[in-house]
């Protein structure tokens, strides 16, 4: 089968010789990478996967049992019916760029490489989870997330191959050379080097870290560089499922823990579940690490990317009237002389913070849902999000320690002990690990998690989502 038959696409791959040549070399490397770093132990199994075979309504979600290495990773750009101007920044009225403007070549490449690097990273982080799946339903969801992260890598590689010449091909190779958590060639962003040892972390990751992806892609989906805009728009349709897996996964854990608390007189451990306090500590960990992904609170890059018309705000076109963002300020809390004080930052330099705000609001909405579930289960426990300053590794707050309420902890000794109490301990990790035993009977679910409301694609919960 020729390359363009194997790769579903709407980018005219069969007539693009340059792209063909690049992909002919890259595609076998991708497969090698997938076999080496993709889901461990399940590569020969049939998995009920959703594949995008075209961009129209029926094509983007075709369900069938397929072996993951045979998954048809495609390249899709969301079609645009009208010509769109750049729409924001310094030159909002000029036509969108179909080709890379030379002056923006480097910043664009950097945006794409940074985004692209996260896609294979998460596959690597999650590669060992299959063995300890709480159900076939969850196992299938894990693999669905994995293959789609693989496809998102393809999407970014397409942009690199199609628009950035030899440098682009080199960068595409580097995307396969870096490894999550590797001592020598780690992934670019630290959050993507953190291990995902068990399913609680997986759900937190898909809830919080993939949600950063939603906002980054959302901002790039406004881009004046049309191919990137259209690629990201299509990726967003897939990303929604990942967020669903995370958000409902945590709901199910919380529900089950609340149920076990009732059944065992408050002793969730005795009931074989995950104590709610532990879940809270994982939320603290992954939420704070995910906040780092938005970058520095005060950023010249964010201003440049916006001014150039390369990266907008989330829902830039729909949500805002003023697309120049040249006027206006944002108050950003910073640490000066040992105190949290407000600094007035020009809006364009605070766009990372604007995006982070949108993200936090979205997470708060999910937390409300989780607490509703706890209430329904008769639990008085409520989960919360830590303050955005807590446990940060990048930006204005990285050099300081804060409580989950955002109060500055001046004393380093106190801060260490405090962080230890608010973040998962080695004992928490070991305990959660101990609950992770693979459950692979169709329709069965591990004791520590409640079943979902519905199956995938209207299938029953006892459907054989993965044929083992």
Partner 1 sequence: MADDTTSASAGTLTQFQTDPTHYRHWTLRKDGAVATLALHVQEEEGLGDKYLLKQNSYDLGVDIELADAVQRLRFEHPEVKALVLSSEVARIFCAGANIYMLGKSTHAFKVNFCKYTNETRLGIEDLSANSGVRSIAALNGTAAGGGYELALACDQIVLVDDGNSAVSFPEVPLLAVLPGTGGLTRLVDKRRIRRDRADIFCTIAEGLKGKRAKEWGLVDEAPSKTGFAAAVAKRSADLVTTATRRAAAPVVLPRIDLQQDGLRLAGRYVEVVSDTTTRVADLLVRGPEAVEPCDRAGMLAKGAELWALRAMRELDLCLLHLRVDFPEINIVRVRTQGDVTKLLAVDAALLAHADDGFLHEVRLNMARTLRRYDLTAKSLFALVEPGSCFAGSLLELLLGADRAYGLIAKDGGRLAFSAMNDGALPMSHGITRLQARFCADMAAAASARAALPAAGADIEACERAGLMTMALDELDYEDEVRLAVEERASLSPDALTGMEASLRFPGPETCESKIFARLSAWQNWIFQRPNATGPKGALTNYGLPTRPAFDYRRT
Rounded to a whole number of angstroms, the minimum distance from the CB of residue 299 to partner 1 is 9
Question: CA 145, CA 156: separation in Å to the nearest integer?
Answer: 17
Rounded to a whole number of angstroms, the minimum distance from the CB of residue 213 to partner 1 is 20
| Distances from the Cα of 5 to the Cα of 10, 14, 26, 158, angstroms | 12, 8, 16, 16
Question: Three-class SS string for 397-413?
Answer: CCCCEECCCCCEECCHH
DSSP string, 200-232: HHHHHIIIIIHHHHHHHHHHHTT-SBHHHHHHH
Nearer to partner 1 (CB atom), residue 184 or residue 458:
184
DSSP 244: H
Judge whether 56 and 43 are in contact, CB under 8 Å: no
Nearer to partner 1 (CB atom), residue 173 or residue 429:
173
CA-CA-CA-CA dihedral for 365, 368, 373, 377, to nearest 10: 170
Rounded to a whole number of angstroms, the minimum distance from the CB of residue 354 to partner 1 is 12
Rounded to a whole number of angstroms, the minimum distance from the CB of residue 326 to partner 1 is 6
Nearer to partner 1 (CB atom), residue 225 or residue 282:
225
Rounded to a whole number of angstroms, the minimum distance from the CB of residue 39 to partner 1 is 23
Rounded to a whole number of angstroms, the minimum distance from the CB of residue 394 to partner 1 is 11
Nearer to partner 1 (CB atom), residue 132 or residue 299:
299
First to last CA, the chain: 28
Judge whether 293 and 209 are in contact, CB under 8 Å: yes
Q: Is 95 helix (H, G, I), strand (E, B) or coil?
A: strand
Nearer to partner 1 (CB atom), residue 100 or residue 435:
100
HSE-CB at 312 with a 13 A cutoff on CA atoms is 28
Nearer to partner 1 (CB atom), residue 10 or residue 91:
91
DSSP 50: E
Q: Which residues bind partner 1 (CB under 8 A)?
A: 90, 106-107, 110, 170, 174, 177-178, 183-186, 188, 300, 303-304, 306-308, 325-326, 346-349, 399
Rounded to a whole number of angstroms, the minimum distance from the CB of residue 151 to partner 1 is 22
H/E element, 408: strand 408-409
DSSP 225: B
301 by Cβ neighbours in 10 Å (0-12 / 13-18 / 19+) ranks as: middle
Nearer to partner 1 (CB atom), residue 265 or residue 327:
327
HSE-CB at 79 with a 13 A cutoff on CA atoms is 9
- The crossing angle, in degrees rounded to 10, of helices 105-125 and 210-220 is 160
Rounded to a whole number of angstroms, the minimum distance from the CB of residue 325 to partner 1 is 7
Nearer to partner 1 (CB atom), residue 80 or residue 170:
170
Rounded to a whole number of angstroms, the minimum distance from the CB of residue 307 to partner 1 is 4
Rounded to a whole number of angstroms, the minimum distance from the CB of residue 242 to partner 1 is 25
Nearer to partner 1 (CB atom), residue 203 or residue 289:
289
Which residues, 6 or more positions from 89, have their beta carbon under 8 angstroms from its beta carbon?
Answer: 224, 306, 307, 308, 309, 310, 312, 323, 324
Nearer to partner 1 (CB atom), residue 106 or residue 341:
106
Q: Where do the H-state alpha helices sit in 293-398?
A: 300-307, 316-319, 351-376
């Amino acid at each position: 089968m020729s390359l363009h038959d194997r790769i579903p696409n709407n980018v005219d791959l069969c007539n693009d010789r340059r792209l063909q040549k690049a992909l002919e070399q890259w595609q076998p490397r991708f497969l090698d990478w997938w076999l080496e770093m993709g889901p461990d132990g399940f590569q020969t199994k049939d998995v009920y996967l959703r594949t995008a075979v075209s961009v129209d309504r029926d094509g983007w979600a075709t369900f069938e049992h397929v072996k993951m290495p045979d998954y048809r990773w495609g390249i899709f750009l969301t079609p645009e019916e009208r010509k769109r101007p750049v729409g924001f920044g310094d030159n909002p009225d000029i036509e969108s760029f179909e080709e890379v403007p030379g002056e923006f070549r480097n910043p664009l490449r950097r945006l794409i490489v940074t985004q692209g690097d996260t896609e294979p990273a998460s596959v690597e982080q999650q590669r060992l989870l299959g063995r300890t799946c709480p159900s076939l339903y969850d196992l299938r969801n894990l693999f669905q997330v994995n293959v789609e992260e693989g496809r998102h890598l393809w999407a970014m590689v397409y942009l690199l191959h199609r628009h950035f010449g030899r440098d682009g091909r080199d960068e595409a190779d580097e995307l396969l050379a870096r490894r999550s958590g590797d001592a020598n060639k780690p992934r670019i962003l630290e959050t993507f080097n953190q291990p995902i040892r068990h399913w609680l972390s997986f759900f937190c990751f898909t809830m919080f870290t993939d949600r950063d992806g939603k906002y980054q892609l959302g901002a790039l989906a406004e881009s004046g560089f049309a191919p990137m805009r259209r690629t990201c728009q299509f990726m967003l349709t897939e990303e929604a499922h990942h967020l669903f897996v995370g958000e409902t996964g945590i709901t199910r854990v919380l529900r089950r823990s609340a149920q076990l608390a009732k059944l065992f007189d408050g002793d969730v451990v005795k009931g074989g579940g995950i104590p709610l306090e532990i879940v809270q500590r994982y939320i603290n960990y992954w939420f704070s690490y995910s906040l780092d992904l938005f970058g520095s609170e005060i950023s010249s890059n964010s201003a440049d990317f916006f001014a150039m018309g390369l990266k907008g705000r989330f829902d830039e076109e729909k949500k805002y009237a003023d697309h120049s963002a040249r006027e206006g300020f944002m108050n950003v809390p910073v640490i000066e002389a040992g105190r949290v004080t407000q600094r007035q930052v020009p809006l364009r330099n605070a766009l990372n913070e604007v995006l982070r705000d949108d993200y936090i609001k979205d997470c708060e909405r999910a937390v409300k849902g989780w607490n509703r579930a706890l209430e329904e289960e008769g639990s008085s426990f409520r989960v919360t999000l830590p303050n955005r300053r807590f446990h940060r590794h990048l930006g204005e707050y990285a050099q300081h320690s804060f409580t989950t309420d955002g109060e500055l902890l001046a004393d380093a000794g106190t801060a260490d002990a405090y962080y230890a109490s608010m973040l998962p301990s080695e004992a928490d990790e070991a305990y959660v690990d101990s609950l992770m035993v693979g459950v692979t009977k169709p329709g069965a679910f591990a004791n520590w998690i409640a079943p979902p409301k519905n199956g995938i694609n209207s299938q029953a919960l006892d459907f054989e989502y993965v044929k083992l």
